[in-house]
Structure 1
Amino acid sequence: MTAPTAPTPERSALWEDFLEIFVKPSAVFERRKDAGFFVPLLIFLVLFLAIWFGLKGAFQPIMDAEISRGIAKAMAKNPQMTEEIASGMRAASEKFAVIGILVSLPVVVLLLGLTTWVAGKIVGAAVSLGAAMMIATYSYFPRILELLASGAQALLLPEEQLTGEASVKLGVARAFDPDTTSAVLMATLMRVDVFTLWVTFLIAVGLHVVGKIPMNKALLGGAIVWVIGALPKILPAMISG
């Protein structure tokens, strides 16, 4: 008697993955568990950046508010700072905002993949670094929906309500005033939103399917990723006070 063979994953066009990741993530991860991540990452970057540049004008009040808040904090810590220096900081911040997103976006996804790999090792998932990168890339696609949701709000809300990034978040941070709330608390609350939790859940699904671990362990892995992902914002906030 011959041993039964494992069922072959259903074949599907690559573009279908970018739709099914929102509704049937397990099927996507099963199909792509041995595939690379470069093409999906490239497609994600193209889509995200195209939408971001298209909505850049709508996001300008939010970026202006965040820059103004940062300059105000810097001036409060350094009373000798002149308006001329502050104006230079504002101009530099606006100039490098575009460069920042072009450089940081792929780096963030790759770091998310590395974090997913580390979390997978902790919870016993059998995932290679390449597989973890694939999981992270597909799991990040809800950020495109977040960008569209934020853009719609930026277009529809009165400009005086666009007081910063939190003002268009679909999460608890929206209810807090960034000017009076602790920076550490604000950085933490910014992680408690629909899309960040969605990304975290998809990572857990990926670890479950590709890493062949029970879902409870996979959810723990996702939680580890969530905590590590919060550190780049929380630690600077703690240091700056």
Structure 2
Amino acid sequence: MSNDTPAAVPHSSAWEDLLEVLWAPSAVFERTRTRGVGIYMLLLTGVFLVLVVATKSLLQPYMDANYDLQVIKMAEQGQKMPAEAVEQGRTFSGYFLLFSWSLTAIFSGVLGGLVTWLGAKVVGAALPLGRAVFVATLASVPRVLSLIATAAQGALVDASAVTSLFSASLGPARFVDPVKTNPGLMGVLASLDLFTLWNVLITAVGVSVVARVSRGAGWMASLVGLGITMLFALIPGVLS
């Protein structure tokens, strides 16, 4: 009679998982393959909310520049706004961005989960939509660091040098003039920053571990998901 027993799954708290997924995603996904996504999404949303409230003044130059870019683009299309409307719009746009950043974990989990699920389908990986949402939620942790990096830059840079949200990007979008560049191309370039690529890496590992497929298949699924995201980023350029 065999004395073999199933290996015990290491216990970890949700906080430990959210931290460790940054440098050891394989181990995290292995021990959390059957856990629910709710607690992770809730904790991440809390983190984003606290960060947004605490760093609002540091994020302000990027919010203002992002709105100014929209005003410039509208003016180029013959839709010049009255001065009072510009100021009202600036306030609304700023609060909308803060709200969106606060819900990053939810948006990244649900929408990222959908494209991850589609990517897994393309490569033939058996990854249910619910587990794809789980993978995408944990893979969104680098976006916390992205927000911190943006706030840190807001504390150091000259506000007059900030031309858009892309000015904070740690990728090729940082070095391109957003006024002269097609919005779709800017969206694609923004998808190639450090934190997005970190997200892609974690997603690839997550698909591989959770769906029990090769690492290569995980990478293919993750890259297909990135490709789908880039296609959606191109839409504003096509419509403009």
TM score, norm. by length of structure 1: 0.91
| Distance change in 2, residues 1:50/1:209 (3 Å) | same
> Structure 1 residue 172: deviation in Å?
1.2
CA distance in 2, matches of 1:232, 1:81: 27
Matching residue of 1:151: 151
Matches within 5 A, 1:150-229: 150-229=150-229
Q: Supply the distance in 2 between the matched residues of 1:210 and 1:20 (Cα, whole angstroms).
A: 17
Give 1:75 shift: 2.1
Q: Determine the C-alpha separation between the residues in 1 that align with 2:62 and 2:239.
A: 24
Deviation at 1:83, TM superposition (A): 3.7
Deviation, structure 1 residue 106: 1.7
1:45 aligns with 2:45: yes
| 1:50-75 deviation digits (Å, cap 9, x = unpaired) | 11221111111111111111112112
Closer, same or farther: CA 146–90 of 1 in aligned 2, 3 Å: closer
Q: Deviations over 1:76-130 (max 9, x none)?
A: 2125654444444334323433344445652332111122112112212222222
Cα RMSD of the aligned pairs, angstroms, is: 2.1
| Paired residue type of 2:113 | G
Unaligned stretches of 5+ residues in structure 1: none
Distance 1:148 1:96 in 2: 19
Q: Which residue of 2 aligns with 1:66?
A: 66
Q: Which amino acid counterpart does residue 122 of structure 2 have in structure 1?
A: I
- Shift >6 Å, 4+ stretches: none
Report the equivalent of 2:114: 114
Identity %: 33
In structure 2, runs of 5+ residues without a counterpart are none
Amino acid of the residue matched to residue 209 of structure 1? V
Count of aligned residue pairs for this structure pair: 240
1:79–1:13 CA distance, 2 compared to 1 (3 A):
closer
Does structure 1 conserve the Cα–Cα contact (< 8 Å) formed by 2:52 and 2:101? no
- Give the Cα–Cα distance (whole angstroms) in 1 for the partners of residues 81 and 107 of structure 2: 33
Q: SS at the partner of 2:219?
A: helix
Give the structure 1 partner of residue 237 of structure 2: 237
For the 8 Å contact 1:71–1:90, the answer to whether it is kept is: no
SS in 2 for 1:34: coil
- Cα–Cα, structure 1 residues 43 and 80, in superposed 2: closer, same or farther, change >3 Å? closer
Instruction: Give 1:16's aligned amino acid.
Output: E
Equivalents in 2 of 1:231, 1:89: separation in Å?
A: 28
CA-to-aligned-CA distance 1:200-230 (integer Å, 9 cap, x gap): 1100000111111111111111101111222
CA–CA distance in structure 2, aligned partners of residues 228 and 235 of structure 1: 11
